[in-house]
């Protein structure tokens, strides 16, 4: 495990000095995965020989030269399957690279493995996968969070040096919190979505899972930037994020939203987050209370907007243009109906039906249009709050990881797992989750740092200052 447990900067030093070769890194990682992934089940696809071939051509002088990076099974990598953890795409092989993959390749990274996820990124536990659930490395009877649970579990379980994920309503930050790693959700438009299989196009954002904040900053420097192939890509220049880590938080002002400390939050989670806030105060930061009054409407607005967009985006998977096709259909309606009935899982079907309903004639104004109005109010709340502070400090998840199967029959309870993360996506701003402690049962707890639009420098600076002063990121799961 020694090599697999290294951070990217530590690994880069060994690669640059020649102490270890890229092929040896791939071999060490493959051995680690072989040893622990039968228990964790973080990966849905591995091609070790392809990774070895890439390693033999790796240039250690590049920023990620020889570093293997795992990829969530919703981002296209040419020649690899991109099944989105769904039966309907189980035979699909990507014909092109997503922009983030092109950028990782240019930086010298080795694309290594496809990680498990909730089907089409719809879920909070990685139990809605056609390939079965992923298990939390800290307690194999618990969920790793979702939808990017495979990526989070792979990094936390030292089966990956880093991984890409996607965040539509918390799908990077929530699993990062539950698995004790760093999960970064950039500003909407900061990272190109070209080559990402869409769930909800106005909410989806590609981000990263890493062991440390420094690695998150490094990867964001590589994958951020404008892309003409994505018409939602922002033109805001991407700064040198790693340079921002060198300054502490003295003089910064952090807001604590009163709406994020609610009845029902786990007491150990609240205690750990408030202790983290005290740490910032001790480092010379100013702490102020702020209000985000429309937070209570975020879950309702999100599950109208997200399901509406999902219904529209998934219409193309019909057995004609994309996806598996049933045999011997009676007619075109039978082809459509049976293909989608057999290809999609229960949660995806639920969201398609909800989305079709809120977009239907007579209900559009009552649901979808009103949800968009609420979305604007939520974004305005954040804008007003950031007039008073540089960033916000909140819990990432209201509870630690729950048991596998515990919420599968109660969708509303499952949806509430994202109650502290959803508003960030609705507002299109940035957020990061970092480890801030453990419960008495040794389950990870995450601190969420929320920044304004294009405010990644501030949140990474704040996250790094906390990480340097605390031991939580150094803890390793019992595996």
DSSP, residue by residue, 327-356 = SS-SSHHHHHHHHHHHHS-HHHHHHHHHHH
Question: Would you tell me how many other CB atoms lie within 10 Å of the CB of residue 336?
Answer: 16
* Location of structure tokens 């797992």: 417
Nearest CA to 188 out of 203, 172, 173, 209 is that of 203
Pairing of strands 182-185, 430-438: antiparallel
Task: Give the span between the Cα atoms of 85 and 165, in whole angstroms.
Answer: 13
The pLDDT of residue 479 is 80
Residue 360 has pLDDT above 80, yes or no: yes
Ramachandran bin of 373, using left for φ above 0, alpha for ψ from -120 to 50, beta for the remaining angles? alpha
Looking at per-residue pLDDT, the higher value among 319 and 18 belongs to 18
Q: Which residues of 146-158 are buried (b: 16+ CB within 10 A; e: fewer)?
A: bbbbbbbbbbbbb
Helices (H) and strands (E) in the chain, counts: 15, 11
Burial class (CB in 10 A: 0-12, 13-18, 19+), 263: exposed
CA 16 from chain centre, in angstroms, equals 30
Beta strands in 216-375 (DSSP E): 253-257, 286-290
The pLDDT of residue 264 is 86
Residue 424 has pLDDT above 80, yes or no: yes
The pLDDT of residue 1 is 57
The reply to whether omega before 438 is within 30° of 0 (cis) is: no
The percent of residues in the chain predicted with pLDDT above 90, rounded, is 93
Task: Give the span between the Cα atoms of 393 and 274, in whole angstroms.
Answer: 9
Task: Give the span between the Cα atoms of 305 and 298, in whole angstroms.
Answer: 10
The pLDDT of residue 362 is 87
Q: Which residues are catalytic?
A: 72, 147, 171
Q: Is 123 helix (H, G, I), strand (E, B) or coil?
A: coil
Note the pLDDT tens digit of each residue in 290-341.
Answer: 999 999 999 999 999 999 999 999 999 988 887 788 889 999 999 999 999 9
Task: Give the span between the Cα atoms of 113 and 212, in whole angstroms.
Answer: 21
Q: What is the mean pLDDT of the chain?
A: 96
CATH 3.90.1300.10 spans which residues of the chain? Answer: 8-255+386-474
Q: Which two tokens stand for residue 458?
A: 């501030």
The pLDDT of residue 339 is 93
Pairing of strands 206-210, 163-166: antiparallel
Burial class (CB in 10 A: 0-12, 13-18, 19+), 65: middle
Work out the average pLDDT over 257-269: 94
Q: Is 148 helix (H, G, I), strand (E, B) or coil?
A: coil
From the CA atom positions of the chain, what is the Rg in Å?
Answer: 21
**Of 36-40, 202-206, 253-257, 329-333, which range is least confident?**
329-333
CA 82 from chain centre, in angstroms, equals 17
| Pure H helices in 396-476 | 411-415, 422-427, 456-469
The pLDDT of residue 246 is 87
Work out the average pLDDT over 341-369: 95
Task: Give the span between the Cα atoms of 67 and 137, in whole angstroms.
Answer: 22
The pLDDT of residue 159 is 98
73 pLDDT band (50/70/90 cuts)?
very high
Beta strands in 279-351 (DSSP E): 286-290
CATH number of this structure's domain 8-255+386-474, picked from the four choices 3.30.43.10, 3.40.50.1980, 3.30.40.10, 3.90.1300.10: 3.90.1300.10
147 pLDDT band (50/70/90 cuts)?
very high
Residue 31 has pLDDT above 80, yes or no: yes
459 pLDDT band (50/70/90 cuts)?
very high
Cβ atoms 110, 99 nearer than 8 A: no
The pLDDT of residue 92 is 93
Look up the pTM and report it: 0.97
Check residue 314 and report its DSSP letter: G
Work out the average pLDDT over 435-458: 98
Beta bridge partner(s), residue 447: 395, 434
Nearest CA to 446 out of 220, 181, 256, 145 is that of 181
């Amino acid at each position: 495990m020694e090599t697999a447990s290294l951070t990217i900067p530590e690994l880069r030093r060994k690669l640059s000095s020649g102490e270890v070769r890229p092929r040896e890194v791939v071999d060490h990682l493959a051995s680690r995965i072989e040893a622990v992934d039968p228990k964790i089940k973080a990966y849905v696809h591995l091609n070790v020989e392809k990774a070895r071939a890439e390693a033999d051509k790796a240039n250690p002088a590049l920023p990620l030269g020889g570093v293997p990076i795992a990829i969530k099974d919703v981002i296209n990598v040419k020649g690899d399957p991109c099944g989105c953890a769904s039966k309907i795409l189980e035979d699909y092989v990507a014909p092109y690279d997503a922009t983030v993959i092109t950028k990782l390749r240019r930086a010298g990274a080795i694309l290594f493995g496809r990680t498990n996820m909730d089907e089409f990124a719809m879920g909070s536990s990685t139990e809605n996968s056609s390939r079965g659930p992923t298990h939390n490395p800290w307690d194999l009877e618990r969920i790793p969070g979702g939808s990017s649970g495979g990526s989070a579990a792979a990094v936390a379980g030292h089966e990956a040096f880093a991984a890409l994920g996607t965040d539509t309503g918390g799908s990077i930050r929530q699993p990062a919190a539950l698995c004790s790693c760093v999960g970064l959700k950039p500003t909407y438009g900061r990272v190109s979505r070209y080559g990402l299989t869409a769930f909800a196009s106005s909410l989806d954002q590609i981000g990263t899972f890493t062991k440390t904040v420094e690695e998150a900053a490094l990867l964001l420097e590589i994958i951020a930037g404008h892309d003409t192939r994505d018409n939602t890509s922002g033109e805001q220049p991407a700064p040198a994020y790693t340079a921002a880590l060198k300054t502490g938080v003295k003089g910064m002002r952090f807001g604590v939203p009163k709406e994020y400390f609610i009845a029902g939050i786990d007491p150990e989670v609240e205690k750990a987050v408030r202790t983290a806030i005290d740490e910032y105060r001790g480092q010379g930061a100013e702490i102020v209370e702020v209000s985000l009054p429309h937070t209570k409407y975020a879950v309702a607005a999100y599950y109208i907007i997200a399901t509406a967009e999902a219904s529209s985006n998934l219409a193309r998977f019909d057995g004609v243009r994309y996806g598996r096709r049933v045999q011997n259909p009676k007619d075109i309606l039978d082809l459509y109906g049976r293909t989608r009935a057999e290809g999609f899982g229960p949660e995806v079907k639920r969201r398609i039906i909800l989305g079709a309903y809120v977009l239907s004639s007579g209900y559009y104004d009552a649901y979808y249009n009103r949800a968009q109005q609420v979305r604007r109010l939520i974004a305005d709340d954040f804008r007003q709050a950031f007039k008073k502070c540089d960033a916000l400090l909140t819990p990432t998840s209201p509870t630690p990881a729950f048991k596998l199967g515990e919420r599968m029959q109660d969708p509303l309870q499952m949806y509430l797992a994202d109650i502290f993360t959803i508003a960030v996506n609705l507002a299109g701003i940035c957020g990061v989750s970092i480890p801030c402690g453990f419960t008495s049962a040794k389950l990870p707890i995450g601190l969420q740092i929320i920044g304004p639009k294009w405010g990644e420098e501030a949140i990474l600076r704040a996250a790094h200052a906390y990480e340097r002063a605390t031991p939580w990121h150094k803890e390793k799961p019992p595996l």
